[in-house]
Amino acid sequence: GGGGGGGGGGGRGRMPGCSAAEFLAGIHVAPKKPGGLPIHFAPLFPGCKMLDLPELHAQLAGRSAFLVGDCWERRLIEHVCKEAGRPLESYDQVEPFAFVCRVPLMNNANLTLGFAHISGSGRMLTASSHEYMPARMLRLSSSERAVEMLSKFREKYLNGIAPDLVMAQSYAHDFAGWSERYPCDPAKNKQKMTGTTRHRRTLCDVYEWWSTHQHILLPEWLSNVENLTQSLGAASPNSALYWNTRYLPISEFAVGTVGLANNQTTPNFPGAYHSMSEGIRALHTTWKPHKVQLFDMARYSAGLVLWYYGDGLHQTAWASQAFARVLFNLIARLPGTRDQTI
């Protein structure tokens, strides 16, 4: 009787042409503006949802992923659970952001997505770090926090088995920590400031310290990221290990790579997140002994300011949908092809 299950989903009213392959293709780049930036990303089939695709369930059922990061990953998991009509669960009652989303697919097997929030890649904390973790966790390094949370997730939801995928990301809290470490004189760049007070402060910070300190900050951050990913690899050596790159409009606009580049008095140096991701692209293949691969979302989303709310920091549901589709693309192809940058 099992042979008839695969075709049953087609009668549930899903849109014509919606297939697993089309869902996994996920998004496409629209025609470009004269300046070279894509007008927008659009789902190939906006109404094509994972739960309407039983043929996709076989590729994702029983799979699992553990995502280490910040609001980018958290909003993804919230989006997936909301679309699936499932509640968020917790694998640690003390941690405020120890989230899990379990999506039932077929033969009582779930797609299980776990999340841990870290506040930066090393030991540097920010003024808001206490909002994301309890006091004991604040005393640990990010590597120690991430490994501990991965262990708790495995024990509670995977019977101790390694997840198929472990993915990490840390940009925003490192960036915020640097801005707190290197305060600036607002008057020095006051004539260049636009937008809200929060944005003015960020622009001022960037002009003051990124152009003069990136030669120190970038190697420090890359060393922290190497330690974080290698710690996760050692804790879960049977998982595919990935780093997720990020694009952030407020960071890139601030240094003139887009919005202020034509101002003759404005220094035009590479944006912070751009420089950070370029460093990862150049060095991740040299990190040993655990192989780190790239989930290069920054290449997908560079310049797409409409993916973000007005603060230039937090992504919309549209961005979470696109992120989820590309992530499912990767999970569906594990473990057979672990040698690809996505």
Where do we find the tokens 């890649």? Answer: 121
Measured between alpha carbons, how far is residue 28 from residues 37, 38, 183 in Å?
13, 10, 40
| Mean pLDDT value of segment 155-166 | 95
pLDDT grade for 310, boundaries at 50, 70 and 90: low
In eight-state DSSP terms, residue 38 is: B
Parallel, antiparallel or unpaired: strands 27-29 and 41-43: antiparallel
For CA atoms 242, 32, 25, 114, give the dihedral sign: positive
- Torsion angle in degrees (nearest 10) through CA of 147, 180, 297, 222: -60
> How much is the average pLDDT of 206-230?
85
Average pLDDT value for the chain: 75
Per-residue pLDDT of 89-117, as tens digits, reads 999 988 888 999 999 888 888 999 999 99
Model confidence band, residue 340 (pLDDT cutoffs 50, 70, 90)? very low
| pLDDT recorded at residue 296 | 86
Q: What pLDDT score was predicted for residue 251? A: 59
Choice among 60-74, 108-122, 263-277, 300-314 with the minimum mean pLDDT: 263-277
Look at 80-89, 150-159, 245-254 and tell me which has the smallest mean pLDDT. 245-254
Which regions of the chain does DSSP assign to beta strands (E)?
A: 27-29, 41-43, 64-69, 89-90, 99-106, 109-117, 165-168, 240-244, 293-295
Backbone angles phi, psi at 119, to 5 degrees: -110, 75
What is the percentage of the chain residues whose pLDDT exceeds 90?
Answer: 32
The letter for the amino acid at 46 is P
Whether residue 4 has pLDDT greater than 60:
no
Contacts of 24 (CB under 8 A, 6+ apart): 56, 325, 328, 329, 332
Q: What is the pLDDT of residue 66?
A: 98
Say which DSSP state 85 is in.
T
Say if CB 63 and CB 334 are below 8 A apart. Answer: yes
At 126, list the tokens: 């920010």
> Nearest-CA neighbor of 329 among 287, 286, 300, 291?
300
Question: Residues 152-161: what's their mean pLDDT?
Answer: 95
Is the separation of the CB atoms in 255 and 312 below 8 Å? no
Contacts by residues 322-326 (CB-CB < 8 Å, ≥ 24 positions apart): 322/26, 322/27, 322/41, 322/43, 323/72, 323/76, 323/297, 324/76, 324/79, 324/80, 325/23, 325/24, 325/26, 325/27, 325/43, 326/26, 326/27, 326/295, 326/297, 326/300
Rounded Cα distance between 290 and 241, Å, is 8
Q: What's the rounded Cα separation, in Å, for the pair 194 and 227? A: 37
Q: pLDDT (tens digit, 9 = 90+) per residue, 9-28?
A: 333 444 555 666 665 555 44
Percent of the chain at pLDDT above 70?
Answer: 63
What confidence score (pLDDT) does residue 40 get? Answer: 43
Q: Is 321 helix (H, G, I), strand (E, B) or coil?
A: helix
Could you tell me which of 81, 58, 1, 27 has the C-alpha nearest to residue 333?
58
More confident residue, 263 or 182: 182
* Edge-to-edge order in the sheet of strand 240-244: 89-90, 99-106, 109-117, 64-69, 165-168, 240-244, 293-295
* pLDDT-derived band at 119, boundaries 50, 70, 90: confident
Hey, what amino acid is at 78? E
The helix or strand, by DSSP H or E, that contains position 63, with its residue range, turns out to be: none
- Whose tokens are 């887009």? That residue is 258
The residues, any chain, with a CB within 8 Å of residue 29's CB and separated by 6 or more, are 38, 41
Q: Is 210 helix (H, G, I), strand (E, B) or coil?
A: helix
Q: What are the φ/ψ torsions at residue 330 (nearest 5 degrees)? A: -65, -50
